[in-house]
Amino acid sequence: MRNFNLNTYAPKSMATSSFYDDQKFCHECDTYVAYLVSAEASYCTTCGSKVRLLSKQDWGMFASTLKPAKQKGGRPRKKRSTA
């Protein structure tokens, strides 16, 4: 008879996420920091400056991976209304 051990397939606990997983980049501290979220922006808990999701470097890398989907001839021409 086959003997499957179902216990090994039990889902891992989801309660392992730590507070420090949530960090943004502070240009004043020049590092990723914990932050406070307000309605308009997020602020460094260390120096109070606005923080960004990514550092400039990381943002550049991220943006470079996003290739603009430009397609020649895919755009409709302007309609002329010279009737």
Closer residue to Zn ion, CB minimum distance, 47 or 63: 47
Is there binding between residue 29 and Zn ion (CB under 5 A)? yes
How far is C-alpha 1 from the geometric centre of its chain's CA atoms? 49
- The vertex-53 CA angle with 51 and 27, nearest 5°, equals 40
Q: Residue with CB nearest Zn ion?
A: 44
Among 25, 32, 42, 44, binds Zn ion (CB under 5 A): 44
Q: Applying CB under 5 A, does 47 fall inside the site for Zn ion? A: yes
Residue 48 backbone zone (phi > 0: left; psi -120 to 50: alpha; other: beta):
left
User: Can you give the binding site for Zn ion, defined by CB under 5 A?
Assistant: 26, 28-29, 44, 46-47, 49
